[in-house]
Copies of this chain bind each other. A is one copy, B any other.
């Protein structure tokens, strides 16, 4: 068993609704972990120092790296986004040193931004650390990563550099349509209908211009049920599949020319990653799951690049 005095680093993934803290041994392995519901939304203004001290109580004084929405406008302090492409070294150089009320020093990882040719920005905070923790250093082929969620992120990585990314609002569009639209009101029951889901994925993925875009295809969830060609109990599953299929279709067009092949790396909960893997397989894309502790691995990698590990 690793003694507490072996601690080389503390990493904290401090998000909107949750906080996860990791204590690392000298070899980079996570030797202790703590989690709480003290995401930034739950912490009153000015309360971040207290939550931090509570989180690391009893752990030795050692370098601390903190990533996530904690550096957003509603967080402990706001940091600007770094422009992509961003190699791991850039993130390490941009670590923001902050002296806590207790006198302890912490290092904040900042988020990333990118702009399309219309100048429209896209942003991430926290995912950059998970991505760096999940990728293979030294890989030369461009690789696609997907972080499923309310707003899923598709990320293009080259070597140890985040070249670009794109956010898809699929999860939130599904949630509001299911809860508040006529499509949700048509559905009965909450059971997942695998056949309906697969049918939705297929229709969402289909490239035929005869099927139109998403605003048209959405209506199929209603019209198929109207003709009893989709069971009412399966409308929500169908809609979920349709939106995920549309996301994969959009993303394939968006990143298509920039990725030669290889499997997509999925970072997130097992349930969501399984759904994405199945939808990607429909589209002829293979996928594999990244490590569970991607954020912790990222903390370690950024700390190493910043020479915080002694």
**Chain A residues in the interface with B (C-beta under 8 A):** 116-118, 120-123, 151, 166-170, 172-173, 176-177, 179-182, 203, 206, 208-216, 218-220, 223-224, 226-227, 229, 243, 246-247, 249-251, 253-254
Contact = CB atoms under 8 A, between A and B. Distances in A.
Contact of A247 (B181, B210, B215): B215
A116 B116 CA distance: 34
A135 to B, nearest CB: 22
Contacts of A123: 223, 226
A176 B180 contact: yes
Given A173-B177, A180-B180, A181-B176, A213 B121 contact: no
Counting every copy of the chain, the complex holds 2
A208 to B, nearest CB: 6
A121 B224 contact: yes
A17 B169 CA distance: 32
Given A176-B181, A181-B176, A215-B173, A254 B117 contact: no
Given A177-B176, A209-B254, A168 B215 contact: yes
A117 B212 CA distance: 11
Contact of A166 (B169, B216, B229, B246): B216
Contacts of A251: 212, 216
A218 B151 CA distance: 10
Nearest to A218: B169
